[in-house]
Chains A and B, each alone.
Chain A
Amino acid sequence: MKKSLIRIILVAMFTALISAGAFIRIPLPPVPITLQTLFVVLASLCLPTSLALEAVVLYMFLGIIGLPVFTSGGGLAAFIGPTSGYMIGFIPAVLIGSLLSRLKTGVPWYLLCGFLATVGIYIPGLLVLKYTRDLSWAATISGGLVPFIIGDTIKIVVCAFTAVAVKPKVSSLLERDGQ
């Protein structure tokens, strides 16, 4: 398959959006949230599986070689700390979101896809948090999940509505490009 310029630009755009999203901090109570995970979920809903995966893997590669694109800066250090599981969770999230979003369209379905993709981020995140800090399940959930529920719910809703508007445009671009 010929990998055209549109594919390159779309992957680069989503990589850049995920990177920029790490630094857009919206001060919602109880904890301020970043747009990073929102763009990961949005990439999974709007792009075909291979492109969404490429965008997330490239984002990780940029961070690993030392560019400051992670919320905690850059470097492989982000994959060692107790919050590294959330970063690893981007890959299952993208796979879940993009594979499911191919089946149907519409806001309710995208809400479900967004929810399951977010679960894909949290499962490795919570597991790594629990086992690296040797916490109980109650402490892990109260520290690693509960504070983010409101923010993530909003993110999923926003993602679903945005995906409904954006996905047809992205698809038409890719079709025009002969994919």
Chain B
Amino acid sequence: MLKDMTLGRYCEKEGPLHSLNPVVKLCVLLLILVSLFLSNTLTLLSLSLLLFTLIFIFSRLKLSYVFRGLGAYFFMIIIFSFIRFALYHFTASGAEEALIIALRLLLIVLYSSLFTCTTSSDEVSRAMEFLFRSRYLALVFSVALRFIPVLSEEAKKIHQAQLSRCGLSYAKSKRRIKAFLSVLVPLFSASYRRSLELSMAMDSRCFSPEKSTHLYSLEFKTKDWWTLIILAIYLAAFVFLRFV
């Protein structure tokens, strides 16, 4: 289950992209994703590919870090683009459409992978707090992130335990519902128990959704401003090519 999830993992390393302000990184990611969503020509996508190459060189990350766990995506991208090619009856315009869809999907995944490689979950939560002016959202985000692996492991254990007891039999519809419940009920009660424990632990440590201070404040350094300038140039070029 979770051991196969190599994509989306933070890569512990000192690098120029790692030390960028997470607010800047999150803004850059969201704006680039929106631009990719609106990209409908190969020129626009090439511009985005060029930007990705520049960022990647700047990040000094190994290619394997960004590309790890992308095998399934490549397969999905090939399928999607082949379907698009087939819809256009294998013509030249169909090939262009297929290339556009493949490049767009690939770039979306690569940008997201680069972001999660270089930004820890704590940094994302700080960035959310800063951007949305909401400590509540940031807390929900960080608690959810810590819950996901715990619950996935719990679900895996329950599923294996029920399998070893032959509890998951799918022969009759009544048994199918029982099979479902045999996984769902223990999973739900475990998550409920953990939630209560967590809320008590957080309460006793004076965690509060109200505004709080941090040991290290988020600072905008020179390289963050340079990143925003490069993003502005990219967006200006994008708007010019797309809408003018």
**A residues apposed to B, CB below 8 Å:** 2-13, 15-17, 19-21, 23-24, 26-29, 35, 38, 54, 58, 61-62, 64-69, 72-77, 79-82, 133-134, 150, 154-155, 157-158, 161-162, 166, 169
Contacts and interface: CB of A to CB of B under 8 A. Distances in A.
B177 A154 contact: yes
B147 interface: yes
Given A5-B209, A13-B192, 15 more contacts: A4-B209, A8-B199, A12-B195, A13-B191, A16-B147, A17-B151, A17-B191, A28-B170, A65-B26, A66-B112, A68-B5, A75-B113, A80-B104, A133-B83, A169-B192
A170 B187 CA distance: 16
A154 B174 CA distance: 9
Interface residues of B, number: 68
Contacts of A158: 177, 180-181, 184
B124 A65 contact: yes
Can you list the 5 inter-chain pairs with the closest CB atoms, starting with the nearest? A66-B112, A16-B147, A12-B143, A12-B144, A15-B144
Contact of B151 (A20, A58, A65, A169): A20
Contact of B155 (A12, A24, A81): A24
B82 to A, nearest CB: 12
B148 A20 contact: yes
Interface in B1-34: 1-2, 5, 7-8, 26, 29, 33
Contacts of B209: 2-5, 7-8
Contacts of A38: 184
B140 A12 contact: yes
B35 to A, nearest CB: 11
A154 B29 CA distance: 39
A67 B104 contact: no
Interface of B: 1-2, 5, 7-8, 26, 29, 33, 36-37, 69, 72-73, 76, 80, 83, 87, 101, 104-105, 108-109, 111-113, 115-116, 124, 136-137, 139-141, 143-145, 147-148, 150-152, 154-155, 159, 168, 170, 173, 176-177, 179-181, 183-185, 187-188, 191-192, 194-195, 198-199, 202-203, 207-209
Given A3-B209, A12-B147, A27 B173 contact: no
7 contacts: A5-B208, A13-B191, A16-B148, A20-B148, A28-B170, A82-B80, A155-B180
B168 A73 contact: no
A166 B219 CA distance: 44
Contacts of A166: 188, 192
A33 to B, nearest CB: 9
Contact of A67 (B8, B33, B105, B155): B8
Nearest to B110: A75
Contacts of A16: 144, 147-148, 150-151, 191
Contacts of B170: 27-29
B104 A8 contact: no
Nearest to A79: B37
Contact of B115 (A15, A27, A66): A66
A16 B195 CA distance: 11
A64 B87 contact: no
A80 B105 contact: yes
A31 B115 CA distance: 34
